Amino acid sequence: MERLFRWLLFFGGVFVFSGGIALAVNMQHLGIHPWDVLNVAMFDMVGFTVGTWNIIISFLLICICFFLDRSYIKAGTFLNALLVGLFVDFYHWTGLLPTATDTWLDILFILIGICLMGFGGGVYNAAGIGSGPRDGFMLSLADKFGAPIGRVRIITESSVLVLGLLIGGPVFLFTFVFTVIQSPIFQVTYVKVGKMVLKKTYKQNQNQKERNTQASS
């Protein structure tokens, strides 16, 4: 039961996280997250879909991570790489989310998108099924070079941002606002949901011990 609970949290978190990405991409004229700048740039330059490029880049990062430190690669890492891209395309194909209106509403929509990414990311990470390809990649780099993860994240995302900008990705004000808003929401959600998961795991373990004691007596 506890395992099922974790998987439900993982899938639910990924679905919400992907919705945040898709909504932000719809408001891309305001600026989007560095990794999505690259995805949108590749979509504009080569074709396919934004979700497809998310999947391609995610699997490239998993391949690099495999050589750096494969301990960060789990079942959830592969699922994350696949599902985020599929869900982003699902949202875009179905037209479930608002599109740009070129009014003040776009600011509200992109703020909602950022909040959804922070909340969804915190939920699926707290499930403990496996970190996303980007997080695993940056963590493996930090371990490999003995550098603080914060510094590695800044360098990595800045490099991705520059690359995306050079090939025509949408960079504007909210590209630089993303981390300021998303990270605290992620942190709070991760801690609170993580405690809930641990509490449920502990309760199930206690129940299992009681059943084992009764069976042996």
Q: Which of helix, strand or coil describes residue 57?
A: helix
Average pLDDT in the 37-51 region? 95
Residue of 139, 133, 4, 17 lying closest to 79 (CA atoms): 133
CA dihedral (29, 34, 40, 45) positive or negative = positive
3-class state of residue 129 by DSSP:
coil
Kindly report the number of other CB atoms within 10 A of residue 5's CB atom: 15
pLDDT in tens, 56-97: 999 999 999 888 888 888 888 999 999 999 999 999 999 999
Angle 133-145/149-166 helices, nearest 10 degrees?
Answer: 120
Per-residue pLDDT, 109: 97
- Confidence class for position 177, pLDDT limits 50, 70, 90: confident
Which tokens is 216 given? Answer: 């042996």
Domain residue spans of the chain: 2-216
Specify burial of residue 42 (Cβ count, 10 A radius: 0-12, 13-18, 19+): buried
Alpha-carbon Rg for the chain in angstroms: 19
Dist. CA 129–CA 103, nearest whole Å: 40
Q: Which tens digits make up the pLDDT trace of 119-174?
A: 999 999 888 888 789 988 988 888 888 888 778 888 888 899 999 999 999 999 99
| DSSP-assigned letter for residue 6 | H
CA distances from 165 to 24, 36, 38, 155, 185 (A): 17, 11, 8, 15, 26
Q: What is the pTM of this model?
A: 0.89
Length of the chain counted residue by residue: 217
